[in-house]
Amino acid sequence: MARQLREEAPAAADRIHVVEPGSSFQAAGFDIRSFGGQHALIHPQIPVVANIGFLVDQNVYHPGDSFIIPDGITVQTLLVPLHAPWSKSAEVVDFVIGVRAPRAFQIHDGLLNDNGLAIVEGHVERIGAKYGTEYRHLAPRESVEV
């Protein structure tokens, strides 16, 4: 994939890099560490594809399409994939408990209607708080300082 991108965007070729799980590198002045390697299982009959999670500046963790917990790392801000064809609410809550970041915000929630979002976020907020995670929903275009 990186080779194809370099061919299709030669002006950006020097900025396109292959990243493996366990890599550390800098991008745009940020220190990045990568985790994972595989997308979460959707179904045994659907091939598993690559997935990399990224920890930015030892602060913000984006797991991609997985619930990979970055072992031995203290995460300050967790981006929580609330819903996907590969997840269920129990796994979402277990992920939040496992990472135990002081704060968390939603990602991957586009397939939920307002009722489903309220249910999943309610579980994450209530149970996450028992383990030290303050969950907050960000509205579209809303931002926070991390």
Q: Say if residues 87 and 40 touch (Cβ distance below 8 Å).
A: yes
The 10 Å Cβ neighbour count of residue 86 is 18
What pLDDT is stored for residue 17 in this prediction? 83
Going residue by residue through the chain (146 aa), what tens digit of pLDDT does each one get? 788 989 999 898 888 888 999 999 999 999 999 999 999 999 999 999 999 999 999 999 999 999 999 988 999 999 999 999 899 999 999 999 999 999 999 999 999 999 999 999 999 999 999 999 999 999 999 999 99
What pLDDT is stored for residue 103 in this prediction? 98
Instruction: Please state the pTM of the whole predicted model.
Output: 0.91
Q: Say if residues 64 and 70 touch (Cβ distance below 8 Å).
A: no
Structure tokens at 41: 């299982």
Q: Residue 81: name the closest of 98, 61, 66 by CA.
A: 66
Domains of the chain: 2-135 (3.60.15.10)
How many whole angstroms separate alpha carbon 135 and alpha carbon 87?
A: 19
Task: Tell me how far CA of residue 145 lies from CA of 42, 43, 46, in angstroms.
Answer: 33, 37, 38
DSSP state of 14: G
Q: Say if residues 39 and 49 touch (Cβ distance below 8 Å).
A: yes
Structure tokens at 123: 């579980």
Please, which contacts does 13-21 make with residues 24 or more away whose CB atoms are closer than 8 Å? Answer: 19/52, 21/52
What pLDDT is stored for residue 81 in this prediction? 97
